Amino acid sequence: MQSIKEQKAGTAQKRKKNSMMRIMMRRLRKNRLAMLGLAILIVIVLLAVFAPYISPYDYSKTDFSSTFQGPSAAHWFGTDELGRDIFSRLLYGARYSLSIGLTTVAISAACGVALGAIAGYVGGKFDMILMRVLDVFQALPGMILAIAIAATLGGGMSNCVISLAISSIPGYARMTRASILNIRQMEYVEAAASINAKSSRIIIRHILPNALSPIIVQATMGVAGAILAAASLSFVGLGVQAPNPEWGAMLSAARNYIRNYPHMVITPGVTIMITILSLNMLGDGLRDALDPRLKD
Amino acid sequence: MIRYIIKRVLLMIPVILGVTWIIFTIMHFTPGDPAVIILGTEVSEDLLEAKRVELGLNRSYLAQFLDYLKDVFLHFDLGTSYVNGKSVSAEIFQRFPYTFRVASLSVCISLLIGIPLGVVAAVNQYSWKDNASMTVALVGISMPGFWVGQMLSLLFALTLGWLPASGVGGPQYYILPCLAIGLSGCASIARQTRSSMLEVIRQDYIVTARAKGVIENKVIYGHGLRNALIPVITQAGSSFGIQLGGALVSETVFSIPGLGTYMMTAISSRDYPAIQGAVIYVAIIFGLVMLVVDLLYAFIDPRIKAQYSGKRRRK
């Protein structure tokens, strides 16, 4: 009796072990580079969340007696032209960059996946019209589209998110549509349709979960791309505006002082680089972990 | 082949019209009165009204749009700048050489560095060479392009004094901007080359080539790379197309009087005709470059060429 129970528990466990998520997590855990990326990312997120407790100074407090100081024990990364502590500003800047990255990807992935899924599943006129509209949007490089939209909407964080999200929707829509066109042919979709499941249920329960892995990878890389693009937008004065400690805006404000006070340019850039690097390492790891062609 | 080119060019027309419509609409409904932008707020209402009539702003949205379409596509006139009264087309034409030089040189740099890095990484998969070049590439794609530019100019121009930091002039002025853009590009080219090479070198024809005794270098570069090149060319082409529209941020960093700087100035001074014109120009150039890329496939891959001619023969 005991042994049968154990056996049952054993098979249940085995079955659970083989879920796609588990396989992916196991493969991801083995990838040291991806785990390092994840660890760095977690540290950055914690630093951003607990910025008020960690930062040694008020990020907006000016101190004209200590402007342009190089790195020292009092100011780890030095101070800027108004005597503000760069380390504290970078900590708060992480809040801007991370939230811009995440919300941009959330909005664009949600819209793109929904549009792509409907277009791929429904097909017909809707598909054709949507694809032609996407053609028009993709006739412009993403950055130019984002800049044009941001220029008309004006600066500020939410406008920055909107313009970046709009310019990256077509990518998600196209990718989702392509994988859905493949999955639609599968037998399990036919089976679901034959027991009279609604279209919405088929899309959400049966098709999307199977189309998810490239979207996950794209979204991870998309956060990195959005942070970089937001930094560029702020650098040219279209994103988050100057007194706010966004990394790109800090680089933009510091560019006039690069000759004499290079620390003002180096530290924000390195911070951006480390953040993007960790996201890319995680994204690469996810891609490998979700690739069915690669064996453990 | 020619049929295909004509078909592609014809397909571009609705897309360009769509871009024109979208950008015109965005600019049309943007708050801000062009008459005020041109004349300032210090003039009388009558003068402003007269300017509005002169610009045709009192007419309906549709009439204005049709006018704009007629100007752009029948007279190739992208309008007149609000700020300095110069023709936008002439300005774009005049700035194009700078942008073209920077774009082509930087794409060359990224191909020349990126492809060998990717090939070496793929051929020696999981070795130290692979790890080293992929680490370099990973760091490369993680840096903002304009920051790479700033760092290069800090090192080579401001600290060492070897090269000029900004502006244009002799060839030495192009080294830093092209390096900055090219280095950012080479990282993604290297990654693309590696992944597509990895797929190709597992194919049967590579085994065949080795089995019949072809020397290893020829196997890799003649048989492998040639087949792996298509995604790489697509990426290089699209980045070339983007650069031809002006390396927006990098041009600003190095003060190159190209299209990127033009667009940035236009945006900051709310010069709508200039923004519209530049965006439409970018869409056209981008479409043409992608068409050339598609045609390049035929030269790289005889199978694709066979497809084009095969269709014709069937007719």
Question: Which residue among A132, A137, A228 places its CB closest to the CB of B144?
Answer: A228
Query: How far is A215 from chain B, CA to nearest CA, in Å?
Result: 19
- Own/partner contacts of B148-151, CB < 8 Å, gap of 24 or more, are B148/B180, B148/B183, B148/B184, B149/B176, B149/B177, B149/B180, B149/B181, B149/B250, B149/B253, B149/B254, B150/A251, B150/A255, B150/A258, B150/A265, B150/A269, B150/B253, B151/A265, B151/A266, B151/A269
For residues B64-70, give the mean pLDDT.
Answer: 86
Indicate yes or no: CB of A139 within 8 angstroms of CB of B150.
no
pLDDT digits (tens, 9 = 90+) for B199-236: 888 889 888 999 999 888 888 888 888 888 888 988 89
Res. A147: pLDDT tops 50? yes
Residues facing A161 on adjacent strands: none
Chain A residues within 8 A of B154 when measuring between CB atoms: 258, 262, 265
pLDDT digits (tens, 9 = 90+) for A222-257: 999 999 999 888 888 888 877 788 888 888 888 888
Number of domains in chain B: 1
Give residue B315's pLDDT. 40
CA A66 and chain centroid, separation:
37
In a domain, B68, yes or no: no
In this complex, is the C-beta atom of A269 within 8 Å of any C-beta atom belonging to chain B? yes
Question: Which tokens go with A29?
Answer: 């855990």
Q: How far apart are CA B261 and CA B161, in angstroms?
A: 25
Q: Which pLDDT band holds residue A260 (cuts at 50, 70, 90)?
A: confident
For residue B119, give the CATH number of its domain: 1.10.3720.10
pLDDT digits (tens, 9 = 90+) for A77-90: 887 777 788 888 88
Q: What is the CA radius of gyration of chain B?
A: 24
What is the chain B residue with the closest CA to A251? B147
DSSP string, A148-159: HHHHHH-SSHHH
* Torsion (CA) A281, A283, A286, A287 in degrees, nearest 10: -110
Indicate yes or no: CB of B248 within 8 angstroms of CB of A143.
yes
Q: Taking Cα atoms as reference points, which of B160, B157, B205 lies closest to residue B180? A: B157
In a domain, B202, yes or no: yes
In a domain, B3, yes or no: no
Give residue A45's pLDDT. 93
Give residue A7's pLDDT. 58
The larger pLDDT score, comparing residue A8 to residue B259, is at B259
CB B120 within 8 A of CB B127: no
Res. A278: pLDDT tops 90? yes
pLDDT digits (tens, 9 = 90+) for B39-49: 777 777 788 88
Cβ neighbors of A241 (< 8 A, separation 6 or more) are A155, A156, A234, A249
Res. B314: pLDDT tops 50? no
Give residue B26's pLDDT. 83
Q: Which pLDDT band holds residue A2 (cuts at 50, 70, 90)?
A: low
Give residue B310's pLDDT. 56
Q: How far apart are CA B187 and CA B194, in angstroms?
A: 11
Length of chain B: 315
Res. B245: pLDDT tops 80? no
Q: What is the CA radius of gyration of chain A?
A: 24
Give residue B261's pLDDT. 87
In a domain, B285, yes or no: no
Tell me the whole-structure pTM to 2 decimals: 0.85
Res. A293: pLDDT tops 70? no
Indicate yes or no: CB of A136 within 8 angstroms of CB of B18.
yes
pLDDT digits (tens, 9 = 90+) for B132-162: 998 889 898 888 888 888 888 888 888 888 8
φ, ψ for residue B80 (rounded to 5)?
-120, 135
In a domain, B291, yes or no: no
In a domain, B189, yes or no: yes
CB A7 within 8 A of CB A257: no
Q: How far apart are CA B1 and CA B107, in angstroms?
A: 27
ipTM over cut 0.90: no
What is the chain B residue with the closest CA to A254? B150
Cβ neighbors of B154 (< 8 A, separation 6 or more) are A258, A262, A265
CB B169 within 8 A of CB B255: no
pLDDT digits (tens, 9 = 90+) for B11-50: 888 888 888 888 888 888 777 777 777 777 777 778 888 8
What is the chain B residue with the closest CA to A235? B249
Q: How far apart are CA B293 and CA B283, in angstroms?
A: 15
For residues B70-83, give the mean pLDDT.
Answer: 81
Res. B74: pLDDT tops 90? no
Chain A residues within 8 A of B248 when measuring between CB atoms: 143-144, 147, 232, 236
Res. A36: pLDDT tops 90? yes
Which string of b and e fits A213-236 if b means at least 16 CB within 10 Å? bbbbbbbbbbbbbbbbbbbbbbbb
In a domain, B262, yes or no: yes
Chain A residues within 8 A of B142 when measuring between CB atoms: 224, 273-274, 276-277, 280
Burial of A81 (0-12, 13-18, 19+ CB in 10 A): middle
Report the share of chain A in percent with pLDDT over 90: 24
Residues facing B80 on adjacent strands: B87
- Most B CBs within 10 A among A134, A140, A220, hence the mutation to make, goes to A140
Average pLDDT, chain A: 84
**CA geometry: angle A210, A215, A217, nearest 5 deg:** 115
Q: How far apart are CA A190 and CA A188, in angstroms?
A: 5
**CA geometry: angle A225, A231, A232, nearest 5 deg:** 90
Question: Which tokens go with B235?
Answer: 């990426």
Res. A3: pLDDT tops 70? no
* DSSP assigned state of A85: B
Looking at chain B, the number of H-run helices and the number of E-run strands are: 15, 0
pLDDT digits (tens, 9 = 90+) for B101-115: 889 999 999 999 999
Query: How far is A79 from chain B, CA to nearest CA, in Å?
Result: 19
In a domain, B176, yes or no: yes
φ, ψ for residue A27 (rounded to 5)?
-65, -35
Res. A16: pLDDT tops 60? no
**CA geometry: angle B125, B107, B7, nearest 5 deg:** 100
The larger pLDDT score, comparing residue A49 to residue B299, is at A49
Q: How far apart are CA B247 and CA B180, in angstroms?
A: 11
Sorted by where each starts, the structural domains of chain A and their CATH numbers stand as 21-60+74-295 (1.10.3720.10)
The Cα diameter of chain A in Å comes to: 80
pLDDT digits (tens, 9 = 90+) for A114-132: 999 989 888 889 898 998 8
Question: Which residue among B22, B139, B143 places its CB closest to the CB of A136?
Answer: B22
Domain containing residue B263 = 92-268
